[in-house]
Amino acid sequence: MKIFVCVKHVPDSAATIVVRGDNQIDEKITFLLNPYDEYAVTEAVKLKKSLLQGHSSSNQIEVIAISVGNNDATKTVRSAMEMGADRGILIKSDLPQDSISTAKALKAAIEQDGNPDIIFTGRESIDMVGMQTMFRLGLYFGFPVVNNIVKFTPDSDLLANRRVVVEALTEAGGRDIYDITLPCVLGAGRGLNTPIYPTFPDVVKARKREIKIVGFDDLVKIENQSQPSSKTEIIKLEMFAEKRIPKEIKGSSSEIAKEIVKILKEEAKVI
C-alpha cells in the first residue's frame, strides 16, 4: 500500500512578513512544514503502523512525503520524514505555482512513483488558504475527496476491503460522515490527532532516507497533454492593516456600562 502525503513549505506564522514589489515577499525568513500537514503526516504514519501489525513485510506499506517548491523545500520534506515518512519527493520549482499547476505536477509525480492508495493533505495551507489543491488532485485522478476530516477509521481489513470511514467538520460546527472506497484524497483538519514530535534518533534516521528531486516543468508537460491550459496569478500583495478607532466613554459607572452594552450589540454584534 502506498500512502502519499502532500506537504507544503510555508512561512512561519510568527515571522515578520515584508512585501517586495507587487506580488512577492522577502523570503529571508523562517519557512517550515505547513501546520495542517503535520496532522496529515501523523495520520499516514499511524495508519502504516496499524497495518503493519497484521503484516510481516514493511516494504509493501510505505509513506511518501511529496512537495512542490524550491531547493529550500527539501527541509519541509525532511521534516515529514523525521515524523515517520519513509522517503520523500521534491518537485523542484523556483517559481511560485498555483493550485492548478501544483495539482497537475503532484499527480504526474505520484503516478511515476506508483499507484496511490490514499493521498493525505492538510485541509489548507496557512499562506494561501485556498483549499483547492486537494480537490483538483482528486479531480485529475478521479478519486473521491473529503476535506477537513477530524476522524479517520479504516476498515478492520483495509488491505482486502479497501474502505475507510471519515468524519469531516463542517463550517456550521456539524460533522458529515463518509464511507469511502480507496483510492481517495483526504484533507486533515485540526483535531484529527496529536502531531508527532520527532526525537533526536528520528532526525538522524531521516537524514539517511531518500529525497528524490524531479523537475516541475517536465511533469507539467506530461499533464498538459490531457488537461486544459489554465492558471491563476497573484497580481498584488498588500499588508493587512487593522484599523482601530479609539473611543472614550464618559459618565457614571451605570452610564458607561449601558454604553458598552450598546456598542457590543449594535457595532460589535456579539450579544
Does 176 fall in a domain? yes
Q: What is the pLDDT of residue 83?
A: 95
In a domain, 178, yes or no: yes
Asked whether residue 233 is domain-assigned, the answer is no
Strand ranges of the sheet holding 163-169, from the earlier edge strand across to the other edge: 175-181, 163-169, 145-154, 184-188, 118-122, 2-6, 62-69, 87-92, 211-215
Whether 73 contacts 81, CB under 8 Å: no
Cα–Cα distance measured from residue 231 to residue 104, given in angstroms and rounded to the nearest whole number? 11
Burial 68-96 (b: 16+ CB within 10 A, else e): bbbeebbebbbbbbbbbbbbbbbbbbeeb
Cα–Cα distance, 13 to 30 (Å, whole number) = 9
Q: For residues 3 and 184, what is the distance between their CA atoms, to the nearest angstrom?
A: 10
Q: Which three cell numbers stand for residue 76?
A: 519541509
First to last CA, the chain: 52
Sites in the chain below the pLDDT cut of 50: none
Pure H helices in the chain: 35-52, 74-82, 99-113, 133-141, 158-161, 200-207, 216-224, 253-266
CATH code, 190: 3.40.50.620
Asked, for residue 253, whether it belongs to a domain, the answer is no
Count of domains forming the chain: 1
Question: What confidence score (pLDDT) does residue 42 get?
Answer: 97
**In-domain check, residue 156:** yes
| 158 falls within a domain | yes
Is residue 243 situated within a structural domain?
no
- Does residue 244 lie in a domain region? no
Strand pairing report for 2-6 and 24-25 = unpaired
Angle (deg, nearest 10), helices 99-113 and 216-224: 90
Dist CA 198 CA 189 (whole Å): 20
Range of the domain at 195: 2-224
